[in-house]
Amino acid sequence: MYFMNMLATTGARHSFVRQAESCRSSGSDFVAAVLEAVDRQLALAPMSSRMVQDWTGDPAAAAVALRVNGALHALARRGSPQYLADLYRGEHDDFDGAIAEALLREDQFIADWIRDPTQTNEVARGAAIMSALMTIAAERQMPFQILELGSSCGLNLNLARYAYRLGGVAAGDPASPVHIEPQWRGADPPAAPVSILSAHGVDLNPLSAQDAAHRERLLSFTWADQPARSRRLEAALAVAIAHPPQVHRGDAKLWLTQRLAERQPDRVCRAVVHTMFLQYLSDRDRQEIAAMMAAAGAGASADRPLVEISFEWTPDRREVQLRCTRWPDGHSAVLATCHPYGDWVAWRGGGDGGRV
């Protein structure tokens, strides 16, 4: 069942091969091999191939290759095509044959799937966010009001319900079924308790842990050769079923405008949080959100501080930075560089003696 097709587009080749290299460097040889086979066979799925070829904007920033990977993983988890499911179960290593058959038979499914952004909602990134909150709490202890942009299923709104090991520091709920322990590099974060008064998020197309199809979509976006990630996601989904996150459907800019206009309680720190969100926005939207935060920050005070915690790629996509900007003084610092999915955290601290 081996097909060789060299008609894949130049754009597709660049996107899929580059993502495959990234996956392999992250230790995911299976996903890398899947994407390389997609690159060779993509023209067998004319609708999907045309969508990739005609993609508006940067396909890497839109994670187009990972969208296709998620579609194939979803098909494999459903058990059809059988030869693809057998590949994912490790019963053979004919990547080209299995991928070619799936592209031929499931072009419509794949094309429909990749219209929507990836929905990883990786809870391991919560370790970096918790570390930033601990750093802020170490300077002045007050509860947080969390506002998350691009919440997906809202799993990171439950970050206080997870157990963390951050270097030598334990945090969160030690009894939680969700254990997050990234490889930690550098000094420990401050061991300060974090209290979350409220946590709300927004997403254009939020998923719900209560919906079996939505749970399956999230699981399909985990990498097939990283079973620990899938188990952690399943545990986080179980927590979300018991404690449903508050995720609002809507445009992030409009929602944030409305939330920032609401009076902030005294002695509560308002924290705007986003992880792997900015890459899906236009330059104009990113600039408008930055201006909106600066304007809101101008009205912040010591009793009603505002912080922005971001876990995002740098503009050149060279590294993922955990950055914290705090108002009323507007000081901004990179607290850490991180693995895109939170597997490791290289802690820098806030500079200025640890102040952020």
238 lies in the same domain as 323: yes
Residue 135 lies in a domain: yes
Q: What is the pTM of this model?
A: 0.85
Closest listed residue to residue 160, CA positions, set 196, 128, 200: 196
Contact 249, 214 (CB under 8 A): no
Contact 111, 18 (CB under 8 A): no
Where is the domain boundary, 79, 113, 147?
113
* Model pLDDT, residue 13: 54
- Cα 269 from Cα 143, distance rounded (Å): 6
Pairing status of strand 163-166 against strand 183-185: unpaired
57 lies in the same domain as 204: no
133 lies in the same domain as 253: yes
242 lies in the same domain as 178: yes
185 lies in the same domain as 208: yes
Residue 1 lies in a domain: no
89 lies in the same domain as 109: yes
Residue 344 lies in a domain: yes
Enumerate residues 6+ apart whose C-beta is below 8 A from 116: 67, 205
How do residues 252-292 score in pLDDT, each as one tens digit?
999 999 999 999 999 999 999 999 999 889 899 999 999 99
Residue 5 lies in a domain: no
Asked if the model's pLDDT at residue 351 lies above 60, the reply is: no
What confidence category does residue 58 fall into, taking pLDDT thresholds of 50, 70 and 90? confident
57 lies in the same domain as 161: no
Asked if the model's pLDDT at residue 234 lies above 70, the reply is: yes
* Model pLDDT, residue 62: 85
Asked if the model's pLDDT at residue 355 lies above 90, the reply is: no
Where residue 133 sits, what CATH number does that domain have? 3.40.50
Residue 3 lies in a domain: no
* Model pLDDT, residue 65: 95
Q: What is the mean pLDDT of residues 243-251?
A: 97
* Model pLDDT, residue 61: 79
Residue 287 lies in a domain: yes
127 lies in the same domain as 57: no
160 lies in the same domain as 61: no
Distances (CA, A) of 203 to 43, 99, 300: 33, 32, 25
Residue 136 lies in a domain: yes
* Model pLDDT, residue 118: 83
What confidence category does residue 350 fall into, taking pLDDT thresholds of 50, 70 and 90? low
What confidence category does residue 1 fall into, taking pLDDT thresholds of 50, 70 and 90? very low
- What percent of the chain stands above pLDDT 70? 94
Domain count, the chain: 2
Residue 204 lies in a domain: yes
Contact 307, 326 (CB under 8 A): yes
Where is the domain boundary, 60, 78, 113?
113
Contact 44, 72 (CB under 8 A): no
133 lies in the same domain as 267: yes
15 lies in the same domain as 159: no
Asked if the model's pLDDT at residue 354 lies above 50, the reply is: no
Asked if the model's pLDDT at residue 68 lies above 60, the reply is: yes
Q: What is the mean pLDDT of residues 55-61?
A: 85
Where is the domain boundary, 113, 134, 163?
113
- Cα 35 from Cα 161, distance rounded (Å): 35
* Model pLDDT, residue 26: 82
Structural domain of 85? 10-113
135 lies in the same domain as 276: yes
Contact 239, 161 (CB under 8 A): yes
* Model pLDDT, residue 4: 43
How do residues 129-146 score in pLDDT, each as one tens digit?
999 999 999 998 999 999
Three-state helix/strand/coil letters over the chain: CCCCCCCCCHHHHHHHHHHHHHHHHCCCHHHHHHHHHHHHHHHHCHHHHHHHHCCCCCCCCCCHHHHHHHHHHHHHHHCCCHHHHHHHCCCCCCHHHHHHHHHHHCHHHHHHHCCCCCCCCCHHHHHHHHHHHHHHHHHCCCCEEEEEECCCCCHHHHHHHCEEEECCEEEECCCCCCEECCEEECCCCCCCCCCEEEEEEEECCCCCCCCHHHHHHHHHCCCCCCHHHHHHHHHHHHHHHHCCCEEEECCHHHHHHHHHHCCCCCCCEEEEEEECCHHHCCHHHHHHHHHHHHHHHHCCCCCCCEEEEEEEECCCCCCEEEEEEEECCCEEEEEEEECCCCCEEEECCCCHHHCC
